[in-house]
Chains A and B, each alone.
Chain A
Amino acid sequence: MRRPVQAVLLLLAGAAVLHISLLTELWLRYVKEGLRPYLIASGLVLVALGVLGAIRDGLPFFEGLGSSPGASEADAGGRPDSPARSSRAARALPGGSEEQGHEHGDSHEHSHGHDHRHGPGVAWLLFLPVVALLVYAPPALGAYTAARGNDKPVAAVAAFDPLPAGEPVPLSLSQFIARVQQDESRAVARRTVLLTGFVTPAGGGDWYVTRLVVSCCAADSQTLRVRVHGVPAPPADSWVRVTGTWHPDGTLGTAGAVAGLDARAVRPTAPPVNPYWDNVPAL
């Protein structure tokens, strides 16, 4: 990859990172919330590198403008049919044959001393995530992943506070699961609770209200799910607010109890800004 193209790639990559971290909240679809400052800093560094690169080495079609000594002579004024040029072209192959590209690259650089104006061809692959983020940010993970993922163990709760008065009681999925499986006072019995999450079909018309929880990035997502009884499944991946009471299955307050809900009402709701945060729903 030639230096002027590298400058374009760095500028686009910086723009993509700033787009998802600074200008929008898209970063929440991919990584944990706390990574935002690091992403913004990375975006600024990439833009700075790209601007410096554009000043020193020029941009494609405007390579003569570069201030770096010799930046233009090898590229713009070069000999189009020279062997060096075609070996450079071979090195610019994206990914497909890394070995070939590399050995070419090595022999070229050794035989021509230290001409590093032409960076690694494998860098072309960086255009894939950069363009994906800029033109179409992939959606947050949903039912497909939740149905195949492993369940997140709910942390042991030392002591449960009394449930707030008033119906329904809004709970996060992990709070509800902990109440069902750990609360020996069985405070959740005969109370109507409100849960939110997205719909994961389980086959045969059964479904779960689901959350995915991420510790670092979307690759390590884990599933929280509560079986919903009594209401037909809404479309997969749609976000819903479910009110209902615990569906008796096992002994409440012990690990043998199954987290399920006899639903009274299921209403559609807007997806949350942070798709991987198991928050307590607002009433």
Chain B
Amino acid sequence: MTEVAPVRERPRGVTAPVRFGTGAVAVLVAAGVALSLLDHPGFRAWETIAVALTVQALPFLLFGTAISGAVSAFVPERVFSRLLPRNPALAVPVAGAAGVVLPGCECASVPVAGSLIRRGVTPAAAFAFLLSAPAVNPVVLVATAVAFPGQPAMVAARLVASLVTAAGMGWLWLRFGRPEWLRMPARPTGHRTGVSRWEEFRTGFQHDFLHAGGFLVVGALAAATFNVLVPRSVLDAFAGSPWLSVLFLAGLAVVLAVCSEADAFVAASLTGFSPTARLAFLVMGPMVDVKLIALQAGTFGRAFAVRFSAATAVLAVVCSALTGWWLL
């Protein structure tokens, strides 16, 4: 990111072509700096992983922002107030369970949850949906079953721990959440008379995608950095202690930011760890990771993302430990 810093020195009031030119030059400078570092294999690996994370998330992000744009432009607010229970405390678990219908990974659920809040869904219910959708949808559960053959308890434990964490965070938000933490950036919202709904869809979709896409790049760069810097051999040092191993794998899920459709395969490869520690990895990954924190900061504001992710991380570890003790 520092590579594009020259844009900051741009004088005020320059004309549009000059501004575009500076942007293009900055990008070229960044590419030049990148090219000059190519010789180090660690840098090449970092580059590949950052690009891979972005490319992998792109279809899901487009899907999520298309839904978000469509919800804003075409779906009237009363639809959601009819679908969800009037009582927010009841709406939370219903919305959490509704996460099973969004077949995707976490990148799709952030913009969708954002559009739900804009359409009047109580934030607590939207957050329960945000947390549960990437963890409990059929694609992810099947991937988990494939990665852990002969261990259906792992699939059940993942489902239970994720749903409980998601509903728990929704209820926590109802009880302790403050609206001022939630600072959603302004964007085209809802249908305005005199404007074509399709044009509203296009501009909303485009805005959401570019916005979330920028934050996706931030998250991918951070995740790639951790991915390259954390040698997996240090894992063995923590595998022995039952409590430390749970915390360590939960932390690893945060920094690696592996897609929720693939994290079960990574968890399966961490053979030295207890099943409960691996469960913590599976529950934490789709709810809190560096890529998601960046996306949430972009969609809901930084004050929210920091508090919400910290609370979710604690609750996810607690739920994983209890569920693991019960089921695994």
Question: Which A positions have Cβ atoms within 8 angstroms of B?
Answer: 1-2, 5-6, 9-10, 17, 20, 27, 29-31, 35, 38-39, 41-42, 45-46, 49, 52-53, 56, 60-61, 63, 75-76, 80-81, 85-86, 89, 92-96, 98-99, 102, 105-106, 109-110, 114, 116, 119-129, 131-133, 135-145, 148-153, 155-156, 215-220, 222, 236-237
- Cβ–Cβ contact B16 & A219, under 8 A: no
- Cβ–Cβ contact B185 & A124, under 8 A: no
Give the shortest distance, in Å, between B10 (CB) and chain A (any CB).
7
Q: Which of B51-59, B71-79, B163-171 contacts A (4 or more CB under 8 A)?
A: B51-59
* Interface residues in B, total, Cβ within 8 A: 86
Q: Tell me the complex Cα distance, A56–B7, Å.
A: 27
- Cβ–Cβ contact B188 & A141, under 8 A: no
- Cβ–Cβ contact B1 & A139, under 8 A: no
In-complex Cβ contact of A216 among B31, B66, B217, B259 (8 A): B259
Q: Tell me the complex Cα distance, A209–B44, Å.
A: 20
Q: Tell me the complex Cα distance, A131–B298, Å.
A: 23
- Cβ–Cβ contact B59 & A138, under 8 A: no
In-complex Cβ contact of A220 among B8, B45, B183, B266 (8 A): B266
- Cβ–Cβ contact A133 & B51, under 8 A: yes
In-complex Cβ contact of B232 among A5, A63, A150 (8 A): A150
Known A93-B7, A106-B183, A152-B269; further 13 A-B contacts with Cβ < 8 A: A30-B56, A41-B59, A75-B16, A98-B218, A125-B218, A136-B31, A136-B35, A155-B149, A215-B147, A217-B52, A217-B259, A219-B223, A222-B269
Contacts of A102 in B (CB 8 A): 185, 301-302
How many pairs of A and B residues are in contact by the CB < 8 Å rule? 239
Kindly state whether residue B231 has any CB partner on chain A within 8 Å. Answer: yes
Q: What 0/1 pattern do residues 157 to 186 of B give for CB contact below 8 A with A?
A: 000000000000000000000000001011
- Cβ–Cβ contact B56 & A31, under 8 A: yes
Sample 28 A-B pairs with CB under 8 A, ordered by A number. A42-B59, A46-B62, A60-B16, A92-B7, A94-B26, A96-B5, A110-B186, A116-B188, A122-B215, A125-B218, A126-B217, A127-B27, A128-B30, A128-B217, A131-B30, A148-B233, A150-B269, A150-B270, A153-B268, A153-B271, A215-B265, A216-B258, A218-B49, A219-B52, A219-B53, A219-B56, A219-B256, A220-B258
